[in-house]
């Protein structure tokens, strides 16, 4: 079984993100980059499926050459090779363009499964997997918390509002990973050493013949409204109930 899996580079999920003083974008000075946590779940699942079913795990990403480091992390976890589409910076992409680039990689690689994180923790759009599946006119199983392969189908449990839904998707298919799909492994030292020798192909976006005009543009940024007032510490339960009743009128 051949699997393509994404490794998006995002800002450190635990960093406090602030705007530049001119509000043209976020402050990136001193900010660390990490693999998108949901992509890590997707990579882990790809590796587990590979351990059971054999085949190849190919890690794909888009961005400047620095993003090689993000792909290299996935190779150190055990993926076989990488593809990086270069020539686009973060602000030159929207979900639709990313999906069309992945659709092109799909056509070149013809995988059985395309695994992605359900959303990236920077843009929080939650679109790419769904867009990709429709561009390819294939099935999708988004927000996956369990994946099993039965013959030519993927049986996927999805985390949906109100409970857990199980669906079957004929392969090839797109699956997007939710957090509870698995616990991503850490790269081992031998894994890191091996990863240095694994290949990462760089493909220039211009060679793919894709229209790079954006359908969705972020034209301005602002800080969210902060809550006024600050916290009032209460001495005990009775004082709290009193304040909720008379002051906040919440009960």
Partner 1 sequence: MGGILVVAEVRDGKLFSGTLSAVQFAQQVGQQTGAAFDIFVAGSNIGSIAEELSYYGAKKVLVEDNPVFAHYLAPGFAASVAAAAKQLGSSYVAGTATTFGKDLLPRVAVRLGAGMASEVTEIVGTRNGRLVFKRPMWAGNIVGHVVVNTDVVVVSVRGTDFDKAVKLANRSEVVPFTGGGANTRVQQRFISFEQTASERPDLTEAAVVVAGGRGLKDGPNFFKIMEPLADSLNAAIGASRAAVDAGFCPNDLQVGQTGKVVAPQLYVAVAISGAIQHLAGMKNSKTIVAINKDKEAPIFQIADYGLVGDAFKVVPELADAIKRARS
Nearest distance, CB of residue 39 and partner 1, angstroms: 13
Q: Which of 1, 56, 135, 212 binds partner 1 (CB under 8 A)?
A: 135
Using the minimum distance from each CB to partner 1, give the nearer residue, 197 or 227: 227
Residue of the chain from 6, 8, 11, 74 that contacts partner 1 (CB under 8 A) = 11
Considering only 168, 192, 208, 210, the residue that binds partner 1 (CB under 8 A) is 168
Q: How far is the CB of 60 from partner 1 (least distance, A)?
A: 19
The answer to whether 30 contacts partner 1 (rule: CB under 8 A) is no
140 binds partner 1 (CB under 8 A): yes
Q: Is 214 in a helix, a strand, or coil?
A: coil
Binding test (CB under 8 A) with partner 1, winner from 56, 109, 112, 159: 159
**Subset of residues 208 to 237 that bind partner 1, contact rule: CB under 8 A:** 213-224, 227, 229, 231-234, 236-237
Q: Cα(244)–Cα(242) distance, rounded to whole angstroms? A: 6
Residue 68, Cβ neighbours under 10 Å: how many? 18
C-alpha dihedral sign at 79, 80, 83, 89 = positive
Signed CA dihedral, 113, 118, 124, 126: sign only? positive
Stretch that binds partner 1, among 1-9, 54-62, 78-86, 166-174 (CB under 8 A): 166-174
**Does 123 sit near partner 1 (CB under 8 A)?**
yes
DSSP code for 174? E
* Residue among 127, 147, 184, 187 that touches partner 1 (CB under 8 A): 127
Looking at 130, 191, 192, 208, which residue binds partner 1 (CB under 8 A)?
A: 130
Q: How many C-alpha atoms does 93 have within 13 Å on its Cβ side?
A: 26
How is 10-54 classified by DSSP, letter by letter? Answer: EE-TTSPP-B-TT-SSB--TT--EEE-HHHHHHHHHHHHHHHHH-
Size of the site for partner 1 (CB under 8 A): 83
x/- mask, partner 1, residues 33-52, rule CB under 8 A, reads -----x--------------
Interface with partner 1, residue 197, by CB under 8 A: no
Token pair of 52, please? 């059971």
- Per DSSP, 91 falls in state G
Q: Contacts for 218-222 with beta carbons within 8 Å, 24 or more apart?
A: 218/91, 220/23, 221/19, 221/23, 221/24, 221/25, 221/26, 222/19, 222/23
For partner 1, which is the closer residue by CB, 155 or 200? 155
Contact 183, 168 (CB under 8 A): no
Out of 91, 108, 206, 245, which residue is the one contacting partner 1 (CB under 8 A)?
Answer: 245
């Amino acid at each position: 079984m051949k699997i393509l899996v994404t490794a998006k580079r995002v800002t450190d999920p635990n960093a406090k993100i602030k705007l530049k003083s001119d509000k043209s974008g976020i402050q990136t000075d001193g900010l660390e980059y990490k693999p998108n946590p949901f992509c890590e779940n997707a990579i882990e699942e790809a590796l587990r499926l590979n351990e059971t079913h054999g085949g190849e795990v190919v890690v794909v990403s888009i961005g400047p050459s620095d993003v090689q480091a993000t792909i290299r992390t996935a190779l150190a976890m055990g993926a076989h090779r990488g593809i990086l589409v270069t020539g686009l910076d973060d602000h030159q992409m929207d979900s639709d363009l990313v999906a069309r680039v992945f659709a092109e990689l799909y056509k070149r690689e013809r995988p059985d499964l395309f695994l992605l994180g359900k959303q990236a923790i920077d843009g929080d759009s939650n679109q790419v997997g769904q867009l990709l599946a429709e561009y390819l006119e294939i099935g999708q199983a988004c927000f996956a918390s369990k994946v099993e392969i039965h013959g030519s189908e993927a049986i996927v449990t999805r985390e949906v509002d109100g409970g857990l839904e199980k669906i079957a998707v004929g392969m090839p298919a797109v699956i997007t990973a939710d957090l509870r799909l698995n616990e991503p492994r850490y790269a081992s030292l031998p894994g890191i050493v091996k990863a240095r020798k694994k290949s990462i192909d760089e493909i220039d976006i211009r060679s793919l013949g894709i229209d790079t005009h954006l359908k969705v543009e972020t034209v301005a940024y602002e800080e969210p409204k902060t809550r006024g007032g600050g916290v009032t510490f209460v001495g005990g339960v009775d004082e709290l109930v009193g304040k909720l009743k008379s002051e906040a009128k919440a009960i």
